[in-house]
């Protein structure tokens, strides 16, 4: 742990078995406010250098919380266990194993599998869903919070395994005021995977001079004079250094000779100080210390078997007197991780290896930990140990521990006797590391492959893995060049690999919207074979990079590609994405539904253009499903550090929120998306976000703002900013333009788009252009355009867009005093808006209906519209018979949060029981309007 020297505030009295705390009054107050169950802040990350006092603060807060009746769960990161998937999570949850058994079956099974207690054989095991593990933790913490407040304390998080961090981060981000659960995380590194940027941070700075002097005054042998000045100078306000240098000075009489002067970092200085205390220790004590240092944190049960003396044994006394260990009850612990490091690294290498051999022999029934100890005992390459690590990696990967798998494979490569075998293991390590989102690590592994082998297949495999992840980052210009250059080099010798790389380059082209990239893709594609074996990849590259270039031909290939992919869910998803890009949205949704029916997308990495799934559901009017998809992409993208994927999901989510009338939430989500990307590098996301902001303004009737946002989807001269994302906004741009007097500019943009699309426009885009022309035309010329926009029955597959057109046409008809003709489109539009929950458009259609002489009832639909979009989602799922836990699992919320939303929603809906929901929602689906003979 970190900094157990006394280092908290002056107002804090030392407790039994602890040391006083100095100089941290403000920080302690902040932590105690966070832990208060009434606090709105549920997560806080405590950041500071080694020895600055993070652990002491956490220990003090945990004691206070326990005294107040809070259930405290603790875990400490362990450097030696950082390669063991879910080891920190296992440590954290061991005290509540009985509560884990009460989780829903899928969640319980996911946790059991994560902890290695799932199916016994690989054949029985499928890859764990990291998101389901996160939901299980959220459910577990929520259940514990039902009885009393919960405090989760994670110390030394920089050494926690990545799988545990991802799962805890997922749960922590979903805690809200309904859950009396607080998470405190201490780490040396502010850029902790999954936790940086997304949670509040409290940074511990070095103590000021007054606090440093006060801490020295509290030491058993408080230094004076020149020694005191030297300690203050060398410690630079670090509490651990102040305490340990004082201890050393009391033994040696001066601080000057304790540690080297000059540029040596404080960590190294302290480690050498601790190492110096090892000199002169009795041999049995030194041997016991080394074995303790080589153990993992959960190896204490093996201490007696390993030959370690019990805590009460006199062999520990010299180490305790040298301030190297602390004995508490039956346990012996190092005073600080630096002590463990000093004991381990300053021991002779053969002694370290012997310690690991001893531990490996005792861990024959724990194969993963045994493998790592065997690896640490190897002075030379060893094929058997490399194979054992490879098996460990396989188990970690099946449990969703991709970082642990990559680490094991990387170490296995170091131990592989043959260079080619090592290169193969490095490629596998890169394949696993892709799922962590750590591009630098993947590129490091790819570089190691290049340094180890000339084998073309291994080299290209490493390049493809790096490219796969690079395509999902925000560095589109650099990534495109890298992928295209690699495809160029491999075009002649390895056309399949070149096409794989070009497929990734096409995704980058879509994100960036850079037209020069389209030309390069087309040039490369002409160099690659056109036979049937490559049809799927070629169609993908053409469709993603230029969907309007030859749309009729590309669309004609979809049925064949769909048939070929029928039993391959991942290929069905690709077909669905292509169908969406070609405005064949019904076919896209069918492909996605079929794929999910065979294989729920449980991979931990959002694949390229994964946002297309959510967009297709938005267009088909399945908004709840779209938001569920956005929640999954956001969760996975944040865990993997893939800002672009998170931004894509935020833009889609913002659009749905705007359509539902939650303009404030829509703006927040859209601005989140824009903050995560460079708009010149990610034109697609920039346009989606502007469309969402435009919809949010239009929902409020702020048409000046709406026009300004939608105008940014096009360049200054009226060209689309993005070759696919800009076109669907044409009609909304026209609608805002007619309300702000910008007919001329909007007409120029619409007609330019119509000319650019020419014969390649989809029925959907032709309808949107016709709607835009109807809005912008002189009143006497508008009717043919509106009728053209509604003529094709296929347009019913875009219900919201069709309802908007119906409403615009009805308004035009009423203004032309053709009131009887206006009633049918008004009735259909209002029914659609109500079914979708598009509250602003419901209100506009109701007002227009009254003006057209229709009697519009006011109650049930408006009651549902009073709920937030998330509450509406929960209500609809509850009406389908899902329990709170099932809803929570689907929406990535805690069951308590779901229950709270239901509790607040029932009075607004005028009901008192869950059983009334189905009838209520069925009532919302009816038109509830009828013509009258009054009004004009």
DSSP label at residue 53: S
What 8-state DSSP symbol labels residue 758? G
Do 299 and 441 fall within a single domain? no
225 and 172, same structural domain?
no
Total count of domains within the chain: 5
Q: Mean pLDDT for each 10-residue chunk of the chain (936 residues)?
A: 39 44 89 88 90 91 93 90 88 91 89 73 50 89 92 93 88 82 90 73 92 90 86 86 83 51 62 85 92 72 66 89 83 84 90 92 86 93 96 88 92 94 94 83 92 87 80 78 88 87 91 93 91 86 94 94 84 92 95 73 56 93 89 79 87 96 94 91 95 97 96 96 96 97 96 93 96 96 96 93 97 93 94 92 92 70 69 86 87 86 87 83 49 34
User: Distance between CA atoms of 166 and 194, rounded to whole angstroms?
Assistant: 6
| CA atoms of 905 and 922, how far apart (whole Å) | 17
| CA dihedral sign of residues 89, 7, 193, 41 | positive
> Does one domain contain both 252 and 367?
no
3-state secondary structure string across 234-262: HHCCCHHHHHHHHHHHHHHCCCCCCCCCC
Domain boundary among 220, 238, 258: 258
Domain with 191 in it: what CATH number? 3.40.50.300
Question: Are 497 and 353 in the same domain?
Answer: no
Return d(Cα 618, Cα 863) in angstroms, integer: 23
**Cβ pair 334, 324 in contact under 8 A:** yes
Give pTM, 2 decimals: 0.77
The verdict on residue 819 lying in a domain is: no
| Residue 74 three-state SS | strand
436 with 485, same domain: the answer is no
Q: Quick one: CA dihedral 879, 881, 883, 887, positive or negative?
A: negative
Residues 319, 359 within the same domain: no
87 assigned to some structural domain: yes
Query: 503: domain range?
Result: 471-546
Between CA 595 and CA 591 the distance in angstroms is 6
Placement of tokens 């030309």 in the chain: 519
- The domain boundary residue, chosen from 347, 365, 395: 347
Among residues 1, 164, 170, the alpha carbon closest in space to that of 84 is found at 164
Same domain, 155 and 283: no
Q: How far apart are CA 319 and CA 321, in angstroms?
A: 5
**Residue 744 placed within a domain:** no
Q: What would the two tokens of residue 834 be?
A: 């109500």
**Same domain as 330, residue 217:** no
**Separation of alpha carbons 569 and 591, rounded Å:** 9
Q: How far apart are CA 390 and CA 173, in angstroms?
A: 34
- Give the H/E segment covering residue 73: strand 71-76
Q: At what angle do helices 551-564 and 569-581 cross, to 10 degrees?
A: 160
Backbone phi, psi, residue 43, to 5°: -140, 140
Q: Are residues 365 and 234 in the same domain?
A: no
Which domain-ending residue is among 546, 578, 606?
A: 546
Q: 180 and 73 in one domain?
A: yes
The candidate with the shortest Cα–Cα distance to 860, out of 898, 908, 821, is: 908
**161, 232: one domain:** no
The answer to whether the beta carbons of residues 224 and 213 sit under 8 Å apart is no
Helices (H) and strands (E) in the chain, counts: 46, 9
Asked whether residue 35 is assigned to any structural domain, the reply reads: yes
Q: How far apart are CA 589 and CA 625, in angstroms?
A: 11
Q: How far is CA 104 from CA 99, 899, 901, in A?
A: 11, 16, 21
- Decide if 925 contacts 835 (C-beta within 8 A): yes
Same domain, residue pair 415 and 509? no
Residue 484, Cβ neighbours under 10 Å: how many? 22
Burial (0-12, 13-18, 19+ Cβ within 10 Å), 452:
buried
**Rounded to whole angstroms, what are the CA distances from 302 to 305, 464, 855?**
5, 44, 79
In this prediction, residue 910 carries a pLDDT of 83
H helix runs in 599-662, sequence order: 611-619, 623-640, 643-660
- Helix H or strand E segment including 782: none
Query: Has residue 214 been placed in a domain?
Result: yes
What residues does 256 pair with on adjacent strands?
Answer: none
Supply the pLDDT for residue 118.
57
In order, the DSSP letters of 143-183 are HHHTTS-EEEEEESGGGS-HHHHHHHHHHHHT--TTS-EEE
Q: Is residue 363 part of a domain?
A: yes
Domain-embedded: residue 104: yes
The answer to whether 310 and 331 have CB atoms below 8 angstroms apart is: no
Three-state SS at 714 = strand
CATH code for the domain of 357: 1.25.40
**What pLDDT sits at residue 927?**
39
Q: How far apart are CA 12 and CA 22, in angstroms?
A: 8
> 510 lies in a domain?
yes
């Amino acid at each position: 742990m970190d900094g157990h020297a006394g280092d908290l505030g002056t107002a804090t009295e030392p407790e039994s078995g602890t040391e006083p705390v100095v100089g941290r009054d403000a920080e302690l107050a902040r932590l105690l406010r966070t832990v208060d169950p009434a606090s709105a802040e549920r997560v806080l990350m405590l950041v500071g250098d080694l020895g600055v006092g993070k652990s002491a603060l956490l220990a003090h807060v945990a004691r206070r919380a326990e005294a107040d009746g809070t259930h405290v769960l603790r875990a400490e990161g362990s450097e030696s266990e950082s390669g063991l998937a879910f080891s920190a999570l296992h440590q954290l949850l061991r005290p509540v194993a009985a509560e884990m058994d009460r989780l829903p079956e899928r969640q319980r099974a996911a946790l059991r599998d994560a902890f290695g207690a799932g199916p016994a054989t690989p054949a029985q095991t499928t890859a764990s869903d990291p998101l389901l593990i996160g939901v299980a933790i959220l459910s577990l913490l929520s259940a514990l919070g039902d009885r009393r407040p919960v405090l989760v304390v994670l110390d030394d998080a920089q050494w926690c395994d990545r799988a545990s961090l991802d799962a805890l981060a997922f749960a922590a981000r979903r805690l809200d005021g309904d859950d009396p659960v607080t998470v405190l995380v201490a780490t040396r590194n502010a850029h902790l995977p999954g936790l940086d940027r997304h949670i509040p941070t409290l940074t511990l700075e070095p103590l000021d001079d007054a606090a440093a002097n006060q801490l020295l005054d509290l030491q058993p042998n408080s230094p004076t004079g020149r020694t005191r000045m030297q300690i203050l100078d060398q410690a630079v306000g670090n509490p651990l250094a102040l305490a340990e240098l004082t201890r050393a000075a009391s033994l040696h009489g001066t601080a000057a000779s304790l540690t080297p002067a000059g540029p040596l970092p404080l960590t190294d200085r302290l480690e050498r100080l601790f190492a110096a205390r090892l000199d002169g220790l009795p041999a049995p004590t030194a041997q016991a210390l080394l074995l303790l240092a080589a153990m993992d944190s959960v190896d204490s049960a093996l201490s007696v078997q390993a030959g370690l003396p019990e805590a009460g044994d006199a062999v520990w006394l010299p180490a305790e007197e040298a301030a190297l260990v602390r004995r508490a009850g039956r346990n012996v612990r190092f005073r600080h991780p630096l002590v463990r490091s000093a004991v381990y690294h300053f021991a002779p290498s053969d002694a370290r290896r012997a310690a690991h051999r001893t531990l490996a022999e005792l861990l024959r029934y724990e194969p993963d930990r045994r493998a790592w100890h065997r690896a640490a005992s190897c002075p030379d390459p060893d094929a058997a140990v490399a194979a054992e690590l490879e098996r460990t990696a396989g188990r970690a990967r099946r449990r969703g521990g991709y970082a642990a798998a990559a680490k094991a494979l990387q170490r296995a490569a170091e131990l592989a006797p043959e260079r080619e075998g090592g290169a193969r293991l490095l490629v596998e390590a890169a394949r696993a590391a892709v799922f962590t989102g750590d591009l630098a690590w993947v590129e490091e592994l790819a570089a190691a492959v290049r340094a180890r082998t000339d084998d073309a297949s291994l080299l290209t495999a490493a390049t493809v893995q790096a490219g796969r992840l690079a395509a999902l980052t925000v560095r589109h210009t650099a990534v495109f060049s890298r992928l295209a250059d690699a495809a160029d080099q491999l075009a002649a010798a390895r056309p399949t690999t070149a096409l794989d790389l070009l497929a990734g380059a096409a995704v980058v082209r879509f994100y960036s919207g850079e037209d020069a990239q389209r030309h390069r893709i087309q040039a490369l594609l002409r160099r690659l074979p056109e036979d049937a074996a490559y049809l799927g990849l070629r169609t993908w590259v053409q469709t993603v990079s230029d969907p309007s270039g030859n749309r009729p031909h590309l669309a004609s290939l979809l049925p064949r590609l769909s048939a070929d992919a029928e039993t391959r869910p991942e290929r069905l998803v690709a077909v669905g994405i292509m169908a969406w890009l070609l405005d064949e949205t019904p076919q896209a949704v069918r492909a996605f539904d079929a794929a999910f029916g065979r294989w729920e997308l449980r991979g931990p990495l959002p694949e390229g253009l994964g946002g297309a799934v959510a967009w297709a559901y938005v267009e088909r009017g399945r908004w709840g499903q779209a938001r569920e998809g956005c929640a999954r992409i956001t969760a996975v993208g944040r865990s993997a550090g893939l800002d672009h994927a998170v931004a894509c999901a935020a833009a889609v989510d913002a659009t749905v929120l705007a359509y539902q009338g939650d303009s404030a939430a829509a703006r927040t989500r859209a601005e989140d998306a824009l903050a995560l990307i460079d708009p010149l590098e990610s034109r697609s996301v920039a346009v989606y976000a502007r469309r969402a902001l435009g919809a949010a303004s239009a929902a409020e009737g702020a048409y000046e703002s709406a026009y300004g946002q939608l105008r940014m989807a096009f360049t200054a001269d009226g060209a689309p900013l993005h070759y696919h994302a800009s076109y669907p906004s044409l009609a909304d741009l026209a609608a805002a333009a007619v309300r702000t007097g910008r007919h001329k500019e909007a007409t120029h943009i619409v007609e330019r788009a119509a000319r650019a699309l020419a014969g390649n426009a989809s029925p959907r885009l032709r309808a949107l252009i016709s709607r835009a022309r109807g809005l912008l035309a002189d009143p006497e010329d508008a009717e043919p355009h509106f009728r053209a926009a509604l003529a094709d029955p296929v347009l019913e597959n875009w219900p919201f867009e069709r309802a908007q057109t119906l409403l615009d046409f009805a308004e035009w008809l009423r203004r032309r005093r053709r009131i009887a003709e206006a009633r049918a489109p008004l009735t259909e539009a209002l029914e659609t808006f109500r079914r979708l929950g598009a509250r602003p458009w419901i209100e506009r259609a109701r007002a227009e209906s009254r003006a057209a002489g229709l009697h519009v009832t006011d109650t049930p639909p408006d009651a549902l519209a009073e709920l937030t979009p998330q509450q509406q989602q929960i209500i609809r799922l509850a009406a389908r018979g899902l329990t709170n836990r099932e809803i929570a699992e689907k929406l990535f919320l805690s069951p308590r949060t779901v229950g709270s939303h239901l509790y607040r929603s029932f009075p607004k809906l005028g009901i008192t029981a869950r059983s009334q929901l189905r009838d209520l929602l069925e009532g919302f689906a009816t038109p509830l309007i009828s013509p009258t003979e009054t009004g004009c």
